[in-house]
Amino acid sequence: MKPKIDSQIILYQAPDGQTKIEVKLQDETVWLIQAQMAELFQTTKQNVSLHIKNIFSEKELDENSVVKEYLTTAVDGKKYSTLYYNLDLIISVGYRINSHRGTQFRIWATKQLREYIVKGFVMDDRRLEEGKTLHGINYFNELLERVRAIRASERNFYEKVRDTFATSIDYDSKVETAKDFYSTVQNKFHFAITGLTAAEIVTKRIDSKKPSLGLTNWIGEIITRQQAEIAKNYLEETELRQLKLLVEQFLAYAELQVERKNPMYMSDWKRKLDEFMNLNDLEILTNKGAISHEEMQKKVKAELVKFTTKQIKGGSRKSKKI
């Protein structure tokens, strides 16, 4: 009976911004199928297959030395012959893949190679501390601590969701995927609860004729322009409670994925957020809304001037919290 394939490789960006790799070894190597390599480097299986074909045709590696064939059981219960590729081949593919993940891998590999050329050796501090070769993945243990710390923190709802997104295995704040998530996540939660984007909430609910401009909560004694532009400050108690429950569910889901050792990519969080809203029978925001951020700011400025003028005439410059 052939041995079961039980190896894994994790490529991730640490909180300090450094690219790191952890591996779960089997027979001093890692064995992955093409689909797993595609996930590792965030590319298509067809792209991986093309690079493997070129690696062999160019004689970069000997196919007989880096490929093994195993029988695997599929969803239908039938056994199929599957090709597994070892660490040498995975590294070669990583040097050829034209993707953000491929770039992260090459940054890491170049750093290791440079250290070896300059010093004559490469140090792995963690292995030295543990006094053994890493045969398991510590990434998930550290990530679980981060996610639990996020859930227990005093940061606001959206900061917690953004912090969770930042735990993505391929996280990079400079790429478009991250920028898009950060620019839409708050609106997605607002829309799910109120049917309005942040700008729409502020524009529709701010009113100089209402007590406290229509705000239900804010920081400080005086309502500043900054506070008046925060959509959450206009939410009713029921809406705030529902928003809190929704965020807590999302964070619990994030912790569960780490517990189950499921690597989450930035693209996964974008997709799962919509699926999460759908699961809760909530409306999913599919556009930027009818009111822009600039239009909202103009409305706030105008209403705040009216409100302040009315207060001055009434002999008071403050608005007490209700």
Residue 72 pairs in a beta bridge with 80
Say if residue 178 is in the same domain as residue 283.
yes
Residues 104/114, Cβ–Cβ less than 8 Å: no
Residues 255/148, Cβ–Cβ less than 8 Å: yes
d(CA 46, CA 54): 12
Q: Residues 224-251: what's their mean pLDDT? A: 93
Q: What is the pLDDT of residue 194?
A: 95
Residue 215, both tokens: 């705000």
Say if residue 161 is in the same domain as residue 112.
no
Say if residue 99 is in the same domain as residue 160.
no
Say if residue 161 is in the same domain as residue 294.
yes
Say if residue 309 is in the same domain as residue 172.
yes
Q: What is the pLDDT of residue 242?
A: 94
pLDDT digit string, tens, across residues 133-146: 444 456 677 788 88
3-state secondary structure 75-91: CCCCEEEEEEECHHHHH
pLDDT of residue 321 exceeding 50, the answer is: no
Say if residue 127 is in the same domain as residue 170.
no
User: Does any domain span residue 147?
Assistant: no
Please report, rounded to a whole number, the percentage of residues in the chain having pLDDT higher than 90: 36
DSSP 137-186: --HHHHHHHHHHHHHHS---HHHHHHHHHTT-TT--TTSHHHHHHHHHHH
Q: Residues 57-74: what's their mean pLDDT? A: 87
Using the CB atoms, write b or e for 248-269: b if 16+ within 10 Å: eebbebbbebbeeeebbbbeeb
Q: Residues 251-260: what's their mean pLDDT? A: 90
pLDDT of residue 116 exceeding 80, the answer is: no
With bands split at pLDDT 50, 70 and 90, how would you rate the model's confidence at 320? Answer: very low
To which residue do tokens 């591996």 refer?
A: 23
pLDDT digit string, tens, across residues 140-164: 777 888 888 888 887 888 888 999 9
Residues 216/304, Cβ–Cβ less than 8 Å: no
| Residue-number span of the structural domain to which 273 is assigned | 155-313
Q: Residues 14-19: what's their mean pLDDT? A: 63
Task: Look at residues 111, 137, 163 and tell me which one is the last residue of a structural domain.
Answer: 137
With bands split at pLDDT 50, 70 and 90, how would you rate the model's confidence at 175? Answer: confident
Say if residue 223 is in the same domain as residue 111.
no
Say if residue 249 is in the same domain as residue 215.
yes
Q: Which is more confident, 253 or 3?
A: 253
d(CA 191, CA 200): 9
Q: Which is more confident, 36 or 125?
A: 36
Q: What is the pLDDT of residue 312?
A: 78
pLDDT of residue 130 exceeding 60, the answer is: no
What is the total count of domains within the chain? 2
**Which of these, 137, 146, 141, lies nearest to 11 by C-alpha position?**
137
Task: Look at residues 137, 166, 189 and tell me which one is the last residue of a structural domain.
Answer: 137
Q: Residues 14-28: what's their mean pLDDT? A: 63
Residue 67 pairs in a beta bridge with 85
d(CA 297, CA 295): 5
- pTM equals 0.64
Say if residue 288 is in the same domain as residue 195.
yes
CB atoms within 10 A of CB 66: 21
